[in-house]
Every structure is written in structure tokens, then in C-alpha cells.
Structure 1
Amino acid sequence: MWILSYQQLLDVEQFTASQQSTTLSQLMERAGRACFEVLLRNIQPGCRVHVFCGSGNNGGDGLVVARHLLENEVPCFVYLNADRTHCSDLFEEQLSLIQMDFPKFIMKWEDFTSEITNSCDILVDALLGAGCTGPLRSGLQEIIFLMNQSQGIKVSLDLPSGLSVDAHMSVEGIFKAEYTLVLGAWKRNLLHPEYAEYCGTLIFVPIGLEFPEGLRSIYGCTVDTESVRSIYRSRSNFSHKGDYGKSFLIGGSLSMCGALLLAVRASLRSGSGYTYAVGPDECRVVLQTAAPEAIFLDKDDFEADQVHQVFGIGPGMGTGAESLALLRHLLQNSCFPVVLDADALNLIGQNRELMELIPPMSILTPHPKEFDRLFGLHASSFARLDTALQIAKKNKIIVVVKGHRTQIVCPDGNIYYNLSGNAALAKAGSGDVLTGVITSLMAQNYDPIQAAVLGVWIHGRSAELVSLTKGIESVVASDIIEGLCLVYSELNAL
């Protein structure tokens, strides 16, 4: 799904109304009703809900939510700005509906006191949503400050008030939601770490928006179950191992055999017909014992071989002179895109001329510190993403900027934000697992962009699934490998 700018959001709403022969008022009713249904499923009996509405369309959404709550006999109080000189027409329409049946539950912002703050159960923020385009006025700052003091569960409709759809904002004064109900389309600022603590858990709420054919966004699109369904290819019962390629994982050193082993095992679990472990002789016993399905090749014997296809280079290989010579040789002689991670990236950062040797459509998978070692320090994730886009276009490569909401940045300018994964991935070795997964997918003849997008999603989904039984803190990289079978079972069931 495309990540839309503020203007694109407005255009899509108009397009949807036109395509469905409906009105913007009916779309607002649909959006508010959908949010109400999410809330109703999670409200405990007796909970009191306090809905704070601005005077724009986000406030109108909030009024729809409040009206449905009251109609279903959920205790609900609505707080409005006493100064309503600049109200949207849709807000006025929804206000007249709720005033008709529930006038005694409508209050002013000023009525929300510190005493009420300590006693309310759920706060719903419908002050601004996507309508925030500049600094907050003093009245909004004051009510948001008071709302943030509440001990109740805090829910924002579409975006936390004070946060823009796509402009860089100061975090000062933003409503700090525990849950954000994302209405109909993703917004860029919801997906970046700078604002994550203000957005809480993101819950996507479909509202039936339709998108014009040919729509594109400079902000890219999201990777979710629906998008990977269109990439993943199930296997024919008449296929054999030769149909699924050969992946070569290259790395390892005396103290880091485990990194190469993780990549090799991930490749085996991700479907490559043959998986080769290419490392120093001191890793031979470890690899052949722990991954008997893989074929071990000594890196000194492998160095002169120029005919192999898909290389995943870097896990545990070290940054010494021998590793540098091997990396240079592989980059100069590979006829196919390669996957570069860990020490391969560190070597490139120390020897910048290697950037020019990277085959087109190769995949780099840096975490933020590796990225900054490669391309210089960056003040924000937005700046890092801008640099990744420039590098991808210039060098015709794919840059996987790892983190929560990992971004896959492509040479054609497309950016894919991955929606799977959790903090279980914040462990040593998880990047080695990702290298093995992506390399395996490339060996199976997924094109590099497909391999990166699908591989990142599978990796994150595995972390989600194994966390359900092991707990986020207890998950290690080997668990993520074992969870891959659960992900492939899901994909085959789609």
C-alpha cells in the first residue's frame, strides 16, 4: 500500500467518493464507525471514554465514534473547543447529529480538569489527525498537555495530534498515544523511530478507500501480508533440488564461526536447493556438525573459482587483509548480484573504492551504525533514508536500511517499508539470519528486489511468531531460523 502525502490523502478521499457514488460525509461515517468497532471490541464493561475533538474533519471522526459509543450505552464524554469559529462543514454536520440525541454529554475542553484526568479510563484523541500542518496553537498545547497527564489508555485517530503526515516536526507538545488507529492509508511519520514513542502500537483500520490507477508516492509503500502474497511462489510437486538454485554463504573466522553458521542455516530453512558454506578451515568442523545439509568449501580453495552464482558475503569474515582480498576478488568476478552484510560492509567502509566494484542490483543490508560507517554520520532516520536513496540510484544497488520498519531502498526510486518484526530482532546474529534468507531467495530465482522485500518480511514475521511462545526478550537468532518453517506454512496457506 502506498504511503501518501497530505495532498494525496485528500485526493484519494475525493476519488473514493466519486468512484463509489458516495459523499465525504458518508466516508466520515464509515471511518468513525470502523474506529468505534475497534474500540468496542477492546473496552471493558464500565469503562468511561473521553473523546477530545478539534473543529476539523478529525474532530468529525471523533464525534462519529462518540455517537456510536453512546448509542451502545458506553459511558462517553465529548470535549470540544469553545471557540468554534473555524469549523469544517463535516464537523458541523456530525456535531448537529450528536447534539440532537446526546446534548448532556458534550462539554468544553476547559471542563477536562486534573481531577477528571485521574479518573478517566480511555482518552480518544481526535483533535487534529492528518490536519496538523504547523505549530500548535496555545489552546491545543494546553489540552494536549493535560491529556498526556492522564493515567487512562490513550488512543489517537489516524495520527497523534501535533504530528504531521509528512513534515518534520518538533516532538514537543505531541499527544503521546498508546494506540494509533491508522485510517485507510499509511502516513510516513508513523513509520520512523523519531516519532514511534508518540504513536504507540499502530492498528491499521480499513475504511474502503480506492486508489487511482497509476498512483505513486515519493514516500514509497508498505510491505504486508497482502503484498508478499503477490511475490511468494509455491512449489510444484514435480520440482527437484536443481530447480531451487545454489546459495553460497561466505564468511566466518576463528572467533566468528557462529555468524556464518546462522546465515547457512537460514539459507537451508529458506528453500535453496543447495547451500554452500565458504569459510576458513577452522570453521569446518563446526559447520559440518551443526549444518550437515550444507556443503563446506574452504575459502582458500574457493577463491579462484569464478563460476558460482549467488553470494551472501560478510557474516563473521573479519576485516583483515585476507578478507579484504577475498571480498575484492568476489566483487570483481561475480557475474550476478551479491548480498553484502556485516564485515563485508565494514571492509567497504574502510576501502571506499570497493563501492565501484559492487555488481548492479546487489543488496546491502546495513544496520544504522554500519550505514553511518559506510556513508557518514546522519542526524535522523530521514537523513539516512535520503542518503540510501541517492546511493541506490547512483550505484544501481538495493540498500536495506535495517531497523524497526526496515526500509528497502531501490535504484528505481521505490522505497518499501516493512511492517513485520518486533524487538526480538534486536539481538546479535539476527542480521546474519537475514543475509541467509535473502541469499537463499535470490538463489531460487527471485529477482533482487523481490528477494529483499520478501526476505525482510519473512525474517520479521518469524520473530513475531516465535515471540508468541518464547517471549521477546528470550528469542535468539537461532530461534528466528527455527521460526521460518512457521512463516512458510503461513505463506503456503494463503
Structure 2
Amino acid sequence: MKILTAEQIRKWDRFTIENEPVSSIQLMERAAQACSNWISENCKNHKKIAVFCGNGNNGGDGLAIARMLYLKGFDVDIFVDSSQKFSEDAAVNFKKLRDFSGIYSKSFKDIDQYHFDSKTIIVDALFGTGLSRKIDGEYKILIDKLNERNNIKISIDVPSGLFTDSLTENNSTIFKADYTLSFQCWKKSFLHPETGKYTGKVIILDIDLSKAYISKTKTSDFVIDDSLVESIFKPRQEFSHKGTYGRATLVAGSYGKMGAAVLSTKSALRTGAGLTFTLAPQCGYEILQTSCPEAMFIEGGTQCIDKFEVEKDSVCGIGPGLGTRPETEKSFLQFLKKYSKPLIIDADALNIISKDDKSLPLIPQNSIITPHPKEFERLFGSTENSFKRVELARKKAKDLQIYIVLKDHHTQVITPEGSVYYNITGNSGLAKGGSGDILTGILTSFLAQGYSEENTAVLSAWFHGKAADYAAEKYSKEAMLPTDVIHEFGNVFEELNRRTAPKL
């Protein structure tokens, strides 16, 4: 799914109006209908709705939603500033409400006397995607008061006060939603930690904007959605053998950190690599042979790895539990100087590279690196915020001709061409040691199976998060373990095979 800017979204609306053709008020009705249908389906235990409407088209959406929810049997009140001029379409919807004696119109100041019971839902339709200034005055006071309430809060399109494409100013007032009902596509601000925390759960509603416009509109930002993953995934062929699915080698582990090697090895095995090898120190021999009997052990040292020897026809993932001992560091850097095939580089392997800027060009072109934010900072320097971090990642991916899987709540896959793919699977249950080791195993396995570097990175990020979502459903985000995530790989493959199977 493409991510568009606020300006591109406005052009999308206009293009749809001009070419479908459909009037702007009819398009507003579509959006309101989609929102009211979602609310009525998902809020059946709540019968009282307080809709706060601005004077622009986002407010017009809110006014239409109020009317439709009233017709569905909800007790609806609207809060507006009727002393200010409405946009043309918002004015039409405000006039329509006069025909409904059961919908009460109140001013924003009435909030102090309004009875919000525990079943009241607050709907925010104050500002939409066009906001480009910091909220102040009466609206700031209103949003601050609404944020203090414990009621369920739903924003329409974008939480009021949040910019669509960029970071808001420090100490800005922003409506903090539990749900955001947005139209047609994700917005960039939903996907970054500083701004995404205001959206709650994001629901993208299809209001049938022009497919011709979106197909020809260029962007470098995308969401990894189900349709993209289905186009990448290659079902396993019946007439195949272990050689069909490649060789994966995990270079991992050191004394006291053999768990990382076990997790990455199990992950590679469970994601379908034809042959899996683990190059680890001798101290991990019994651990690996016992816990991962399907994988073959290659000794790379005694207490830590000091010999990096990878078969030429094997795809190599390096880093989990590697440690940064001097002998490991020396051997790894020597290995990089003579190795030219794409690598998966994670964890301590990245930490070794980050010690000297001169080591960065040693990363083979088309490699996939998987830093978390602190590892990224050690590699490339600090940035003021996550928006600027992504832009720096674009530059470094291009300069080094590598793929960067920047781990975050919404992990970003950055390509050498400058494209950014935001992953929307996964949850905070992955915020545990060992989760990154699993991702390294997935990446190494998929690359070994013949996926391109870009498709490997995109599919792996989605797959990792999807398995974590299954694990969270079963064990909870708090209690789930990285091994639980691995145990859900089969369910993810079942889902992918079901989706991509020929339809009768």
C-alpha cells in the first residue's frame, strides 16, 4: 500500500470528484457512512455519542457521522462553534441536522456541564489532514479537557493536532485517540513512535477513491500489507528437494550467549531453509546439537568465534550472541575484507563495524543489516527524531548499496533506491531479548531460498511480526517468549498458503 502526503491525498479527492464523477458532498457521505458503519458494528455496548466537529471538511464528516449514527439508534450530541463559518460541505451537513430533533447541538464551552457517563464515546472530527499549524486557543483548551477523560475516543481521519507527514512541535496539543478511522491509506505520522502514540489502533476504511490516481501516483513510502506479501510469497513446490531451498549458515554464539545461536538456528530451520549450518564456538557444541539436531555444527573457535569460514554456496547471517572479543573482532573484519556476497548482519557484528567508520564500506553490497535504533546511532550517528532517522537511513542505504531493516514498533525496510516499507504486523511482546535473533534466522533462510534481497527483507519483517501477533493472542504480550514466536511460524505459513492457493 502506498503512503501519500496530505497534498497527494487532497489531489486524490479532487481527481475522484472530477473523474468518477462524484460530488464532494457525496464523497463526504461515503466517508461518513464507512465510519458510522464501523462504529455501529464495533461499539454495540455504547449508545451515547458525543461528536466534536470543526468547521472544515473533517467537521463535515463528523456532522454526517452524527446524523447516520442517530438513524442507527444511537443517542447523539454534537459540539460545534456555530459562530464561525463552515466549509461549503460542512454547512450542508449542519443544515441537515436541523431536521433531527433528537440531535442536540452544543457549544464547546458546554463540555464542562456535559454528562459523560462510562458508555459515552467521544468522536474527534475537529481537524483533518490539512492541519499545518500548532493548535491553540479554544481548541487547545477543548482537546486538553477531552484528553483528561477516560471515555473511548475515536478520531476521524487523523487525530486533531497531528500533522500527516511530519513531526509536531514540542509540547503540542494533540487529541489522544483509542481508535483512528482513516481513509484509504496509512499516513506517515501513524507509523513513527513520536506521533503514532496518539492514534491508538488504526483502521483504514476504503471509500473507493480513484484507483487510476493511486496507480499512477509516485511515492517512495509504502506499508507492507497483505497484498504485497502475497505477491512475494512462493509456495513450496511438491517436486522439490532440500537443494531447492538453499543453504543457510548462522554465525552466532559465544560463551554465555549460546541461546542467541539456538534461536536464530531454530528460526532458520522453521522457515524452510533446505540445509542449515551453525558456525559457533566449541563451547556451544552440545547445546546446539541437542536443541537443534536438524542443523549441522561447524566449529569456529573455543569460547568465541575466531574463524569465519562460510561455504561459497551458502547464505550467511552473522551476529546473534557473537560477542565483541578482540579475536572475534579481528577475524570478522578480515572476513569482510575478502567476502563479497550479500550478508545478513545483526547485533554484535554491527557493533564491531560501528567501532570504526572505515569498516562500513566493508559491508558487501546488497547485504541486509538489522539495527535497532541504538545500533543505528552507533553506526551512522544520532538524529533528532525518527523521521530524520529514516531520511539518514535512506542516504546510508544508497551510499553503501545495502538494505537496512531498522527495527522499531513499525519496523522500516529501507532499500538502496530510497524506498521505505513500513511493517504493520508485530506488537510490544517482541520487546524482549532474543526477538532480533529470530529475525536474523528468518532473513538468512528466505535469502537462501532464492528471494531477492528486497523481498527477503519485506517478507521477513512481516512474517516475524505476524508470528508475534499469533503468539500474543495465545500467551499475551507480557508472557510470550521468542520461542513462542518460532512455534507460531507454522500458522503463518498456513495462512500464506491459504491466501495464495488457486481459487476454485
Distance 2:309 2:435 in 1: 30
Partner of residue 476, structure 1:
481
Q: Which segments of structure 1 move beyond 6 Å, counting only runs of 4 or more?
A: none
Q: Does the CA-based 8 Å contact 2:28-2:60 persist in structure 1?
A: yes
Aligned length: 492
Partner of residue 217, structure 1:
219
What is the CA distance between 1:305 and its match in structure 2?
5.0
| 1:384-425 Cα deviation digits (max 9, x unpaired) | 112111100110111111010101111101000000000110
Could you say what secondary structure the match of 2:50 adopts? strand
Which range is displaced more, 192-201 or 355-364?
192-201
Residues 454 and 257 of structure 1: is their aligned pair in 2 closer, same or farther, counting only changes over 3 Å?
A: same
What is the CA distance between 1:43 and its match in structure 2?
2.0
Residues 309 and 128 of structure 1: is their aligned pair in 2 closer, same or farther, counting only changes over 3 Å?
A: same
Distance 2:81 2:317 in 1: 58
Partner of residue 235, structure 2:
234
Q: What is the aligned counterpart of 2:321 among 311, 316, 320?
A: 316
Q: What is the aligned counterpart of 1:447 among 452, 458, 469?
A: 452
Alignment of 1:206-285 (within 5 A): 206-211=206-211, 212=213, 213-218=215-220, 220-285=221-286
Alignment of 1:45-444 (within 5 A): 45=45, 47-85=47-85, 87-102=86-101, 104-117=103-116, 121-170=120-169, 171-211=171-211, 212=213, 213-218=215-220, 220-299=221-300, 303-304=308-309, 307-444=312-449
Distance 1:353 1:426 in 2: 31
Letter in 1 for 2:26: Q
| 1:63-115 Cα deviation digits (max 9, x unpaired) | 11111111112101011113222x22111122222223347522222222254
Could you say what secondary structure the match of 1:278 adopts? strand
Distance 2:113 2:246 in 1: 65
Could you say what secondary structure the match of 1:116 adopts? coil
Q: Does the CA-based 8 Å contact 1:117-1:149 persist in structure 2?
A: no
Residues 455 and 104 of structure 1: is their aligned pair in 2 closer, same or farther, counting only changes over 3 Å?
A: closer
Distance 1:56 1:430 in 2: 45
What is the CA distance between 1:442 and its match in structure 2?
0.3
Distance 2:155 2:312 in 1: 56
TM-score w.r.t. length of structure 2: 0.94
Q: What is the aligned counterpart of 1:461 among 457, 461, 466?
A: 466
Residues 289 and 45 of structure 1: is their aligned pair in 2 closer, same or farther, counting only changes over 3 Å?
A: closer
Residues 432 and 182 of structure 1: is their aligned pair in 2 closer, same or farther, counting only changes over 3 Å?
A: same
Alignment of 1:14-25 (within 5 A): 14-25=14-25
Distance 2:346 2:412 in 1: 15
Letter in 1 for 2:226: T
Residues 302 and 443 of structure 1: is their aligned pair in 2 closer, same or farther, counting only changes over 3 Å?
A: farther
Letter in 1 for 2:216: G
Structure 2 unaligned spans of 5+: 500-504
Could you say what secondary structure the match of 1:130 adopts? coil
| 1:43-72 Cα deviation digits (max 9, x unpaired) | 235621000000111111111111111111
Structure 1 unaligned spans of 5+: none
| 1:287-311 Cα deviation digits (max 9, x unpaired) | 1110011011112596355624311
Residues 28 and 104 of structure 1: is their aligned pair in 2 closer, same or farther, counting only changes over 3 Å?
A: closer
Distance 1:259 1:443 in 2: 20
TM-score w.r.t. length of structure 1: 0.96
Distance 1:285 1:49 in 2: 62
Q: Please tell me whether residue 33 in structure 1 is matched to residue 38 in structure 2.
A: no
Distance 2:330 2:103 in 1: 78
Q: Does the CA-based 8 Å contact 1:82-1:109 persist in structure 2?
A: no
Residues 70 and 451 of structure 1: is their aligned pair in 2 closer, same or farther, counting only changes over 3 Å?
A: same
Distance 1:22 1:454 in 2: 38
Q: Does the CA-based 8 Å contact 1:260-1:432 persist in structure 2?
A: yes
Distance 1:384 1:126 in 2: 31
Distance 2:46 2:192 in 1: 36
Distance 1:157 1:187 in 2: 13
What is the CA distance between 1:3 and its match in structure 2?
1.2
Q: Does the CA-based 8 Å contact 1:309-1:334 persist in structure 2?
A: no
Residues 46 and 446 of structure 1: is their aligned pair in 2 closer, same or farther, counting only changes over 3 Å?
A: closer
Residues 421 and 252 of structure 1: is their aligned pair in 2 closer, same or farther, counting only changes over 3 Å?
A: same
What is the CA distance between 1:21 and its match in structure 2?
2.1
Distance 2:42 2:363 in 1: 51
Partner of residue 502, structure 2:
none
Residues 83 and 438 of structure 1: is their aligned pair in 2 closer, same or farther, counting only changes over 3 Å?
A: same
Letter in 1 for 2:495: E
Distance 1:45 1:460 in 2: 31
Distance 1:185 1:304 in 2: 46
Letter in 2 for 1:100: D
Letter in 1 for 2:424: L
RMSD: 1.7
Distance 2:337 2:384 in 1: 34
Letter in 2 for 1:395: L
Distance 1:304 1:124 in 2: 60
Residues 489 and 305 of structure 1: is their aligned pair in 2 closer, same or farther, counting only changes over 3 Å?
A: closer
Q: Does the CA-based 8 Å contact 2:76-2:103 persist in structure 1?
A: no
Q: Does the CA-based 8 Å contact 2:167-2:195 persist in structure 1?
A: no
Distance 1:3 1:471 in 2: 31
Which range is displaced more, 209-218 or 394-403?
209-218
What is the CA distance between 1:240 and its match in structure 2?
1.1
